[in-house]
Structure 1
């Protein structure tokens, strides 16, 4: 089967979060199981500089944006063919693909991702002159949602699927923007792009998809409820038979403490003494006190309200009254950045904060920390808790979304049956975080139990093989339905 995998980012060509990780791994896993997958994404300025080689494939004319080029390359470290849409809206703009340097959305994002979707549409309709036409079009998040609505206007249409990585981001613009984009007026309806008088890219993708997948089973259920549905829960309940939760995987080659080149000392479940060495080296790198008995808590990710980091700040004084250290890596909300920087200044040797993103340091924090804190208010899947488990670092999480599907709380029952691998908060506030850290410290002091918990986590299998098989099953169902219709 031929699959066009449309995404706005893919590691290592562009990554701002989980979408980039998934798009950098899932296509390769699908190809390993026999699918002819080709990934398509914008040719951002930074993407082109990261590529060792690429070549022009064809020239496209996309109304009303004019000419653009289709480039071809290979996703580094894989055999996945990559198509890149080159146009000044992407290729002359370095930095974050969605936001300006001050964190605001690019004012022409609607134009940029409409251009991307229309270029994908030409490829899907075999009008791009590349001699390849997909059977299945797999869109991801709002940036490629419009593509499925456009394809729905053509008959016979393709098998279409959209994966929602985070429902909070929907690509919402006013009606004047819709009119300016020169899109078919038939799309301006509730079954198309219109949502309460505005244009909604993600809703367009949901309406145009045969199946709607999310990145964990729990999140698939949650987004059909008002607290997590972000205004689309009614539509998703209406489509509940078509909503499928498939847990994300991780790349076991990139996240492998036994062979990770970013680590000072490699280790596995049978050689955890080397993990302690990574902790000491990380403490030195981050200017934390050399203290084997301190519980080192790692935090990596976007500094946003979603991640619950404001609650970490509220809990910080009580948490730091315990024998713990805090290592934070991330960026985002400027007020949160300032507050964490100020916290580190008040607690030298106990708290270290690094703003921005550093892939190597992220790996070293995963390896050197004793626990990893993820107090997310919602979390579609989450990847860091999986990385943590693989590195023998116990996650402390709020039991939502994919966190609920991957972390097994420490209870007498789960300790007895050997499934416990972390601490799950069933309610989220600052006292819950204080309680959870206290529980982690209690178990940390029992070294035999702690090592058993670490080994349980390190045995968890979060590779992409199972998840890719579930996507392939949906692809086959869609193709079978198309065959029956024909």
Structure 2
């Protein structure tokens, strides 16, 4: 099978969220089953990261989309990348989606329509004369026009569209239709129209051959009004036709505390003295006081979805009970400021680092006792998997992938209602467990024994591809 895997970010080069980690790991896990090639916009970090790029084709302007070329390159381990080169759209400072201040690029509709159009052209064999796709796997709203462009150009190439987070939809003014080359006839309730605006993600939901999301629980949740973000109707229709699946994400094999080079001291299950050295290292690096109490970690995007407000609300209670909190992440200014204010009030008990660094995150998972994940919704979540592998017990809301990957009372703690009392109840259970060393030892061993390999996920995707072609 020749699979074109389309993504707007990948941790090989640039990462904003969990999609980047998935986009690096899943194509590699799929190489046992298919000829998988990744297509990504030509951001500066991508161009720096691929040294063997060569041009395989060029495309002329389409509608009001600019001309572009497509380069072919490879990573050191042989993963094949197609890179959409259009300097005016992608070679900018900032993130894939916005400037350094966090504001979205005003032309994101053009940027990701061009990317989607490029992927469709490549899939149809119109760019690289030596390769065409049997199936396109598109991810999130930035790639969601790919099934649409294939449909509108009468290309009979099956597509799988994966929803990593339905809350991010790519909604633009309907005046974008003609400039983006989207047929006016598609602007209706059964097409790309969403409350009289153009919805990129709805194009994926409507035109893709099959929809997936990143856990079975989230696949059920998004067919309801509570989690469907206004799209529950079309999602329920696809589910009724057996065209919506939940396939749980995995994590890559580098998340092993016995071999992870980022840690001060590698350790395995039962090596609690060695693990304690990592805790001391984290406390030292973040300026926290030496303590015999539990260390809680928040490693997340600092946004409303992640329940950061609940952590802020509960921070003083954690400190008063003898706990400490270390935070790393970036997100909404109001949460960043509130966390920094909490640090100012309790500088030896609360440490906050605005930003994200993978090495630092690994150290925190290895040194913390508990990982805070009070997300309002969580399609899959990766931090709870990382945490368990490194012996940090996650505390999460019973939703999405958290419900599927945390065994309540065995490998972590779950609470049922997103509220301060619900979250505090789980915090109390965590403090109680921390005081019972045998119980803590049992739970840590169980958590570290959890297997979150990509192998099973890759088998599920490969089977879905075969049934779709």
Q: TM-score range, shorter-chain basis? A: over 0.9
- Distance in 1 of aligned mates of 2:215 and 2:390: 21
Which residue of the partner structure matches residue 483 of structure 1?
Answer: none
Q: Deviations over 1:354-394 (max 9, x none)?
A: 00111111110010000000000000000000000100110
Asked if 2 retains the 8 angstrom alpha-carbon contact of 1:319 and 1:434, the reply is no
- Distance in 2 of aligned mates of 1:206 and 1:336: 32
Asked if 2 retains the 8 angstrom alpha-carbon contact of 1:13 and 1:51, the reply is no
- Distance in 2 of aligned mates of 1:155 and 1:111: 22
Match of 1:424 among 391, 411, 414: 414
Which residue of the partner structure matches residue 262 of structure 1?
Answer: 262
- Distance in 1 of aligned mates of 2:128 and 2:6: 18
Which residue of the partner structure matches residue 72 of structure 1?
Answer: 72
Which residue of the partner structure matches residue 237 of structure 1?
Answer: 236
**Aligned-partner SS, 1:181:** coil
Which residue of the partner structure matches residue 110 of structure 1?
Answer: 109
- Distance in 2 of aligned mates of 1:52 and 1:271: 41
Which residue of the partner structure matches residue 462 of structure 1?
Answer: 452
- Distance in 2 of aligned mates of 1:336 and 1:66: 38
Q: Deviations over 1:146-178 (max 9, x none)?
A: 010111234451111100000000100011122
Which residue of the partner structure matches residue 186 of structure 1?
Answer: 185
Q: Deviations over 1:241-285 (max 9, x none)?
A: 211000000001x21111111111111114232111100111101
Shift of 1:90: 3.6
Asked if 1 retains the 8 angstrom alpha-carbon contact of 2:177 and 2:184, the reply is no
Which residue of the partner structure matches residue 161 of structure 2?
Answer: 162
Which residue of the partner structure matches residue 442 of structure 1?
Answer: 432
- Distance in 2 of aligned mates of 1:175 and 1:59: 29
- Distance in 2 of aligned mates of 1:17 and 1:298: 18
Asked if 1 retains the 8 angstrom alpha-carbon contact of 2:93 and 2:99, the reply is no
Which residue of the partner structure matches residue 346 of structure 1?
Answer: 345
- Distance in 2 of aligned mates of 1:268 and 1:73: 38
- Distance in 2 of aligned mates of 1:13 and 1:37: 18
**Aligned-partner SS, 1:227:** coil
Q: Does 1:34 align with 2:33?
A: yes
**Aligned-partner SS, 1:112:** helix
Q: Does 1:24 align with 2:10?
A: no
- Normalised to the residue count of structure 2, the TM-score between the two structures is 0.97
Which residue of the partner structure matches residue 388 of structure 2?
Answer: 389
Q: Does 1:328 align with 2:327?
A: yes
Asked if 1 retains the 8 angstrom alpha-carbon contact of 2:144 and 2:202, the reply is yes
Which residue of the partner structure matches residue 361 of structure 1?
Answer: 360
- Please, which runs of 5 or more residues in structure 2 have no aligned partner? none
- Distance in 2 of aligned mates of 1:79 and 1:35: 14
Which residue of the partner structure matches residue 248 of structure 1?
Answer: 249
Segment of structure 1 superposing worse, 293-302 or 174-183: 174-183
Give the alignment of 1:202-213 within 5 angstroms.
202-213=201-212
**Aligned-partner SS, 2:60:** strand
- Distance in 2 of aligned mates of 1:158 and 1:376: 37
Q: Deviations over 1:19-53 (max 9, x none)?
A: 1010010001011x220100001011222223344
- Distance in 1 of aligned mates of 2:244 and 2:88: 33
- Distance in 2 of aligned mates of 1:195 and 1:102: 29
- Please, which runs of 5 or more residues in structure 1 have no aligned partner? 411-419, 480-486
Q: Deviations over 1:281-304 (max 9, x none)?
A: 11101111111x210001011111
Asked if 2 retains the 8 angstrom alpha-carbon contact of 1:45 and 1:90, the reply is no
Asked if 2 retains the 8 angstrom alpha-carbon contact of 1:46 and 1:95, the reply is no
Which residue of the partner structure matches residue 315 of structure 2?
Answer: 316
**Aligned-partner SS, 2:131:** coil
Give the alignment of 1:284-303 within 5 angstroms.
284-291=284-291, 293-303=292-302
- Distance in 2 of aligned mates of 1:354 and 1:52: 33
- Distance in 1 of aligned mates of 2:97 and 2:341: 28
Shift of 1:433: 2.2
Give the alignment of 1:42-81 within 5 angstroms.
42-63=41-62, 64-76=64-76, 78-81=77-80
**Aligned-partner SS, 1:332:** coil
Aligned length: 466
- Distance in 1 of aligned mates of 2:436 and 2:139: 44
Asked if 1 retains the 8 angstrom alpha-carbon contact of 2:124 and 2:155, the reply is no
Which residue of the partner structure matches residue 377 of structure 1?
Answer: 376
Segment of structure 1 superposing worse, 186-195 or 146-155: 186-195
Pair 75,108 (structure 1): closer, same or farther in 2 beyond 3 Å: same
Which residue of the partner structure matches residue 100 of structure 1?
Answer: 99
Which residue of the partner structure matches residue 468 of structure 2?
Answer: 478
- Distance in 1 of aligned mates of 2:468 and 2:137: 12
Shift of 1:321: 1.1
Q: Does 1:85 align with 2:75?
A: no
- Distance in 2 of aligned mates of 1:162 and 1:114: 16
Asked if 2 retains the 8 angstrom alpha-carbon contact of 1:299 and 1:373, the reply is yes
- Distance in 2 of aligned mates of 1:165 and 1:89: 28
